[in-house]
Amino acid sequence: MTQAVLVTGGAGYIGAHACKALRDAGFLPVTYDNLSNGWRDAVRFGPLVVADLADRAALDAAFAQYRPVAVMHFAALSLVGDAMRDPGRYWRANVLGALNLIEAAVAAGCLDFVFSSTCATYGDQDGVVLDEDSPQRPINSYGKSKRAIEDMLADFGASHGLRSVIFRYFNVAGADPEAEVGEYHQPETHLIPLLLDAIAGNRPALTVFGTDYPTPDGTCIRDYVHVSDLADAHVLGVNWLLDGKGSRVFCLGTGSGFSVREVIEQSRIVTNRDVPVIYGDRRAGDAVALVSGSDRARIELGWAPRRSTMHDMIADAWRWHQTGGFCG
């Protein structure tokens, strides 16, 4: 009998790619999503439960029906600007939702839990390589809520034997190489889909915020990881736990960064089209450079990112972009 994995947020960008990776690895991905930010069309690799994490009865019913061997938790609010404006919404949705989920998992005897965390738990530590031992100093309710969930998992591990793999990752990009699923947000806030929208004529131009940073070309530097490589890491995390290994934290990135101008130039090369650009002022809170140290994931998990070159990330995203995305 195929083993089920409950994937919260499985109708979203990263969650949908994780569901495909789970299916390809021989699992049955069961998407649990309220569809507030996800897309029904993205659920192509297993069943869908339309429900909210606040609904404990729905969670209990999903665990009873599918008897998952593990949970993969992506569902969360994640826009930093919104988190600054309305922190209460983030604490309620992210922390209380995770608490409901964790308690339901424990009650069902499902004690293997993979959690999608974030580099935002590190806060503003500019220009250093961030790894699992870097101090966590989140500066907004998004990062703080994710850090709180990490602490919650540790507490439930100590009291109930819950085992967790926590992934902290940086900028996610690209799309499924076969263009079955991809990145589609409303509104869109990520650099590469905004850039491709501008190339395709769906927006007048890409706005670059700040050209006076102390970097070789004056624009911010970020570490990007391909969404399919990220999904593969999450499957490795499930297998890590099912193999009886203990709770662990892993950072996921490439260990090197690309500036905004480098991403723009790669997009021009991949699409063979000009990129309309507007240059604006810096945004408050934008760090100069954020780069991940991922040696632990490579050595212990055996994670080997195969598509996390900027060329492949843009080419796969452009292929998906040309399909028209999800209708919603």
Cβ-count burial of 57 within 10 angstroms (0-12 exposed, 13-18 middle, 19+ buried)? Answer: exposed
Q: Give the mean pLDDT of 41-60.
A: 97
CA dihedral 110, 15, 181, 78 (to 10 degrees): 170
Going by pLDDT thresholds of 50, 70 and 90, the confidence category of residue 123 is confident
Whether a cis peptide bond, with omega within 30° of 0, leads into 187 is yes
Model confidence at 328: pLDDT above 50: no
d(CA 101, CA 109): 12
Three-point CA angle 42, 319, 196, nearest 5°:
95
Per-residue model confidence as pLDDT tens digits over 98-117: 999 999 999 999 999 999 99
Whole-number percent of the chain with pLDDT over 90: 76
Question: Mean per-residue pLDDT for 61-81?
Answer: 92
H or E stretch covering 296 = helix 295-296
Distances (CA, A) of 312 to 188, 241, 269: 21, 30, 12
Domains contained in the chain, CATH given:
4-173+224-252 (3.40.50.720), 191-223+255-321 (3.90.25.10)
Classify strands 224-226 and 171-173 as parallel, antiparallel or unpaired: parallel
Res 44 pLDDT > 70:
yes
Q: Which of 89-103, 152-166, 286-300 has the lowest mean pLDDT?
A: 286-300
Catalytic site residues? 142
Global pTM value: 0.93
Q: Which pLDDT belongs to residue 325?
A: 67
